[in-house]
Structure 1
Amino acid sequence: MSQANEGGSGAALAGLLDLERLEEDLYRGGSPVTTWQRVFGGQVVAQSLVAAQRSVGEGQFVHSLHGYFMRPGDTSLPIIFQVDRMRDGRSFSTRSVRAIQHGKPIFMMAASFQVEEEGFEHQDEMPDVPPPEALSASDLMNDSEHAPAPIRNYWKRERPIELRPVDLEDFLWRKKGSRGQCIWIRATGEPPKGRDYQAAFLAYMSDMTLLDSTLYFHGSSVFSDRVQGASLDHAVWFHRTFDVSDWLLYVHHSPFAGNARGLGQGQIFDRAGRLVASVAQEGLIRIRENAPRFYEQGGG
């Protein structure tokens, strides 16, 4: 069972995804050594997918997963992953996974796997945005020095995923009232080349920044002391093969927020403009009473 430093590299994430087999369809995984108080949602999604993948026959690949976050994960304890083989068919197989700590599920997921077939094809077009090479990672680091402390501290950490927002000013300061964002993402270092690991990496990446898209319109952030934010559910549809070590464009949009919840939707394109995955997530975005306004704290 592997652990990694806070954030860490792509190689460290690969270690987290290399679950320890305890028994048939029973696995154990770790969490990074971190100052965070709870397990990152994308981590438990990715680890649950790895557990499910290990029970599926050769030639079937994940095409969708749907999960619910039930309790905060404890970063100081291992997570037990229990797989249930719900159905095995010639074309499709279905698995459910429970991620357990303290004897209770913290996350439950269903995943479906399919043998690849030929069929009708269409897709949405990728937005026309600058390529990642035209955007500088140093710009993000430099500009975040003037951002509120929670964002500044977040971006100083080493992490297994590199991000380059297309609209850096809006990403950091939320002054445009937009309901979306485009962010180039890729794994740092050299992740494993196997297709199962690629899917697990993408599942991890898909939870980054999506809930935050529900707060752009309101000039706020999940980092804000005014907001109690938490992922409630998460879904990913895998459309085509991809390479997480190359840049992927993650397009965010939030069609709705209300009743202390926000819905974020995402599309992930490769450099060639192929739509490789779609994502949806609903999260808690509850306003904390009597808390200071986030961007007033940072001088923004």
Structure 2
Amino acid sequence: MTLTVSGLIDLLRVRRESGMRFSGCSPLDGARRIYGGQMLAQSIMAMGQTVREPHRLHSMQGYFLQPGDVTKPISFEVRPLREGRNFSTRLVTATQDDLPIFSGAASFQAPEGEYQRFDAIPDVAPPDQMQPEDAFYADQLHLLENCRSHVPMIMRLFERRSERWRAWLDPGPLPPVNGIWCRLRAPCGDDPLLCQALLAYVCDLDLMNTAMRPRGRGSLDKTMQAASLDHAMWFHAPVSPDRWFYYDLAGPCATGNRGLGRGALYQDGFLVSTAMQEGLLRDRHDRRENHQRNETYGPMGR
């Protein structure tokens, strides 16, 4: 299955089953696990459908609990935590076969106040002066053959440009910084909730990779185990994902095989959203050694 932009939009518009219960599915694009950005976006769409006008999403956070299976349907159960005049808060649990795979919460606010202040975009070159993603990776595309990765799908859906692309294998240690111009490859309309969901969908991809760059391991390194653990986003201003926006990324720390990624998204010269994520990057060899050591010496070690 080749997912198009219109297909992605249909995918994110989860179907209401009854009350506050929704259902969704995943594209069969060769990957075995559900892409984390899909869980974020579908959860946003489910929670947002239960909130009355004129409340708008301003923040969300979630935890990835179990790997999702792309071949199985997803059930989303939304629960209202607050139904105020100015703020509404929702909790969502996504399950497959009655097993929770994602839990999240979101806050929605009615418009208020006139004062506004936004950070300006960093001094970076415009997108037409940066290298396209598909051009940089043209001689590495063979690495994606027989590889269960979401990367090809994202490359088809979004045009992305950067000065900081790195090799998928053996890139060597690099500073924990990145910057990417990005836009959806086809129009998506002006539904505010859908635009926010699409932003969450794409911004999941690079936060953990940026935080782990100093370790020098590539994103297709099969000796490593990688996973998103949690994700948080704040939405400061309306955004149009089908127009260029700049994603400024940094990884301020890494410890315990976890890396923290921080991202600021800019459009039309000012900050429109902020994202943070903690992810796991573990050497499979080290994990096997630890498992064998625990079997030999018991849980408390030697």
Normalising by structure 2, we get a TM-score of 0.87
5+ residue gaps in structure 2? 288-302
Letter in 2 for 1:269: Y
How far apart are residue 11 of structure 1 and its match?
1.1
Structure 1 contact 249–269 (Cα < 8 Å) conserved: yes
**Letter in structure 2 aligned against 1:279:** A
Point out the more displaced range, 35-44 or 124-133: 124-133
Q: Which moved more, 1:190-199 or 1:107-116?
A: 190-199
Q: For residues 76 and 286 of structure 2, what CA distance do their matches in structure 1 show?
A: 40
The residue correspondences of 1:61-210 to structure 2 (distance < 5 A) are 61-118=56-113, 120-137=115-132, 140-147=133-140, 150=143, 156-157=152-153, 159-168=156-165, 174-175=171-172, 177-210=174-207
2:276 matched residue in structure 1? 280
Aligned to 1:128, the other structure's residue is in SS state coil
Change (3 A) 1:27 1:205: same
Q: SS at 2:37's partner residue? A: helix
Look up the match of 1:32. 27
TM-score (norm 1): 0.87
Distance 2:286 2:191 in 1: 49
Q: CA offsets per residue over residues 39-96 of structure 1, 9 Å max, x none?
A: 0000011001101001001110000001000000010011001000111111100000
Which residue of the partner structure matches residue 254 of structure 2? 257
Q: Distance in 1 between matches of 2:195 and 2:75?
A: 22
TM-superposed CA distance for 1:141, in Å, is 2.6
Which of structures 1 and 2 has the bigger CA Rg? Answer: 2
Counterpart CA distance in 1 for 2:166 and 2:104 is: 36
Q: CA separation of 1:142/1:26 partners in 2, compared to 1, >3 Å: closer, same or farther?
A: same
- Aligned-residue Cα RMSD (Å) equals 2.2
| Structure-1 separation of matches of 2:256 and 2:48 | 36
Specify whether residues 221 and 148 from structure 1 end up closer, same or farther in structure 2 by C-alpha distance, changes over 3 A only.
Answer: farther
CA contact (8 A) 1:26 1:82 kept: yes
Deviations 1:13-59 (A, max 9, x none): 10101212110011111100121110000001100110100100111
C-alpha displacement of 1:226: 2.6
* Percent of pairs with identical residues: 34
Q: Name the stretch that deviates more: 255-264 or 121-130.
A: 121-130
Q: d(CA) in 1 for partners of 2:192 and 2:171?
A: 36
For structure 1, list consecutive stretches of 5 or more residues without a partner in the other structure: 292-300
Is the 8 Å Cα contact of residues 223 and 285 (structure 2) preserved in structure 1? yes
Conservation of the 8 A alpha-carbon contact between 1:141 and 1:156: no
Distance 1:211 1:169 in 2: 14
